[in-house]
Amino acid sequence: MRMISFDKILIVFLILTGILVFLPDVNASENSCVDCHKTLTPFIEEQKRFNQIRIQHLERNAECSLECHEDRVRQLATANFQQWAESVHALKGVTCEACHGGDPKQATKEKAHIDFKNITDPESPVYYTNVPKTCGKCHSQELDNFENSTHFRKLESLQLAPTCTTCHHPHTFTVLNPEDFRNSCGNCHSIYKKVAPYDIPLKAEDMLRKVNKLKFNIDNARQDIFWAKKNGTDVAQAEKYTDNALKTLGELAPMWHEFNLTHFEDVIDSANSEIKDAEDLVKSAPVPTETAAAPGVPGFIGITGLISLMAVFYILRKK
């Protein structure tokens, strides 16, 4: 194998160094990202201005984030659409005009937005105080319960109380988890905001955990009833108790919107009491663990013993 001499390596190194030294400076205005996206995107004047900011950053070797200097209105609209596309509303076919108004059958933006009200307009269906009525067009039971709450009365009189989108964030419409309530309710019910009672966030969190516990208890009771019925136990009354608890569970979501935690807890405790009654009726019924062998048919151990005995007799006769 031929060895490359040190002189040759040095010559190659000097040539490469010279190439690097004499390379012309790269002009940031010729950045391929910007150039390409200018031709691909119908930039509005505001976006063109942001592009110039990007170029200036690149010329100063400053890092440039596209998220900082893009069209904020377009970014917001895209994010809203993405959130809606992944929501239950999208699955159910509830589209933009159901909440925002407008005419989705029109082909142009101007015609589609006729009579469209901005969110800051008190006549807009998504204006803060109008949101309950808008949501109530579909969620009528939740609206009925919400209108019986202290929150709704304060919203009507002071316009300083929670509304639907306080808990169910717009465009995602997700239901809060128990641990979320500590922060959500704590935005108002805290010693800092001076909105009493201060322990509401912890109570709300606890109530939602009790709901999940009730679901667990109902599932366990239904399994126990299934096996008791298999064993010939009369489970009619136990099923009635469980059905009542299941019906109560289905009514808890609308009832929650009254924000009467004392009443809410009483209802959950009553449902759990019925589940306990159902369990008491079926808990003595044994749960089958294995299938009994058919009578008169020897098992594996019996057959093995019989074969062993025959082998002993055979050996003795041989002797």
pLDDT along the chain (319 residues), means of 10: 50 45 43 42 55 68 56 62 85 88 84 86 92 94 94 87 87 84 84 86 91 95 94 94 96 93 95 96 64 52 61 58
Residue 134 near residue 125, CB atoms below 8 Å:
yes
Q: What is the pLDDT of residue 135?
A: 94
Q: What is the pLDDT of residue 228?
A: 94
Q: What is the pLDDT of residue 252?
A: 94
Residue 182: how many CB atoms within 10 A of its CB? 13
Which position has the token pair 């009553």? Answer: 270
Alpha carbon 203 to chain centroid, angstroms: 22
Task: Give the phi and the psi of residue 96 in degrees, each rounded to 5.
Answer: -55, -45
**What span, in angstroms and rounded, lies between the C-alpha atoms of 12 and 109?**
63
Q: Which residue type is seen at 316?
A: L
Q: What is the pLDDT of residue 109?
A: 81
Residue 220 near residue 214, CB atoms below 8 Å:
no
Does pTM top 0.85 for this prediction?
no
Which position has the token pair 């984030």? Answer: 65
96: CB partners within 8 A, 6+ apart: 84, 102, 104
Residue 142 buriedness (CB in 10 A; 0-12 / 13-18 / 19+): buried
The half-sphere exposure of 143 on its side-chain side, counting CA atoms within 13 A, is 12
**What span, in angstroms and rounded, lies between the C-alpha atoms of 257 and 263?**
12
Dihedral angle, C-alpha 266, 271, 273, 279, nearest 10 °: -160
Identify which of 239, 248, 252, 237 has the alpha carbon closest to the alpha carbon of residue 270.
248
Residue 257 near residue 149, CB atoms below 8 Å:
yes
Q: What six digits make up the tokens of 90?
A: 């999208």
**What span, in angstroms and rounded, lies between the C-alpha atoms of 235 and 170?**
46
